Amino acid sequence: MKANKKILPGRIKYILLCIGLAVFFVSIAIPAGVTHAQGRVKGEWVLPKHYPDGFDGYGRIYTITADKVVIDDSVLKLSASVEYSTPTNRYATSAYFGPGNLVGFITNSEHEIISLWLIK
């Protein structure tokens, strides 16, 4: 009877150790792309149908010129062919965009804004 009591705690420790190692190895094997959000962000706004499903970034405009914009303390370059959109006008001009506007943007591979979308 005493022999069974000594074996049982040893088996429990062994089983717990195996489960712990299995969880550890599985967590290492899961790629980072599965565990961390990637790609475009989507705010909790109700946007028109012509707006994209997500943005590369968003924030409030501090200043905007013909070739750059400051959004939330980040200076971003505007592409030479940047497109502007508002909730009522798919093809708008930069005149609709000014300091204090909440905007979403999409960038190209050179990190230039290729489209700017007015949110509020």
Lowest mean pLDDT among 8-12, 15-19, 115-119: 8-12
CATH node for 57-118: 2.40.50
Q: Would you say the pTM of this structure is higher than 0.75?
A: no
Q: What is the pLDDT of residues 33-54, one digit of tens each?
A: 444 444 565 566 688 888 998 8
Q: What is the DSSP string of 25-52?
A: HHHHHS-HHHHS--S-B--S----TTS-
Q: What is the pLDDT of residues 62-109, one digit of tens each?
A: 999 999 999 998 999 999 999 999 999 999 999 999 999 999 999 999
User: Residue 105 region, left (φ>0) first, then alpha (ψ -120 to 50), else beta?
Assistant: beta
Q: How many CB atoms lie within 10 A of CB 2?
A: 6
Strands 74-85, 113-118: pairing is: parallel
